[in-house]
Structure 1
């Protein structure tokens, strides 16, 4: 069984299903990327994994434990960290206060983890006393990822982490994501920059209308002529 095994997820909002037997799996310390056209159900799939969407079918297991019935808060305590696409920082709090908020479930000394976040994102140390709302978009994303890392997650989930940032900042964020995975943390990421995301992906999922269309390694999907033509712009 994979470290994260979200199998045959079916569900949606109201009476309409958006996900149709969608399956996502992530191995320990690996990066899995979800790509696909707008409206494909990518973010919905992430919310289902995190417990923000009640499933009508399917199951979610983390590290061998069935967590399908758990709330998002309970999933955080089991080792999930989730960074939403928007409204993902507390703008009137300082950078350091944002990071401290990420440690709210911790009962141990979290200062070592904060130091690791500052080493991963040096700009945050420099701006630690600045309000998060005053930062650039890329810096706010670093705060959001850093706050999620403060929970010491086993699985880090990122919903379009490079949305609205420059290509240079995007490359830097992807480099940091690779560094996080090298520490043994599994990554599940929805990304609009499909080509760049698949370049760093161990596994790639192409979703269409809430269902799995293609699943393979990132390199294999990049090399697939049909995937390139339909989803990667040729």
Structure 2
């Protein structure tokens, strides 16, 4: 996932391990694809034979995605991009005594204002925005999104699939121990733009990656 800095030491982030994204990149490589893996900060080794573009923040992720899709046939957006970022990033480390922080209260606490990050897939769904991406390329690009939910997975996934005009959406319940962040396995539903839904069994993330690429290849053929 992305990390949104509060100061040079702290950040707003999430629990994503990156394992699903790296499994997807490895599977695509093994099928002979030229793969660009846009990776946030993770404790994983880069797959051999894959172009790795490292980013930290959602804004950096956005720029990298727009640069990559101009020549891509498919975008698989499994990254857990932060929805929000601090409105202001402190240049120096914030101290408990309040030095460097704004509106410090009597107990040394302070309010952290967050602002919305851009919705990368949402922007790609709009054929008029963003201007950085070629109009014809956006129309041809196979787009796959992910939804990590903690309840009512099917409803939220269907809404996201439609709102972002995706070809496929892969959803999972991250509150489950066998499909949560950091797990070696995943239990996913695959939603198709046609309205079809597939309920896949629990399997290693490498197996989920293979299943997803089977469906992408079908869409590309």
Tell me the TM-score normalized by structure 1.
0.32
Indicate the structure whose relative CO is greater, using CA pairs within 8 Å and at least 6 residues apart: 1
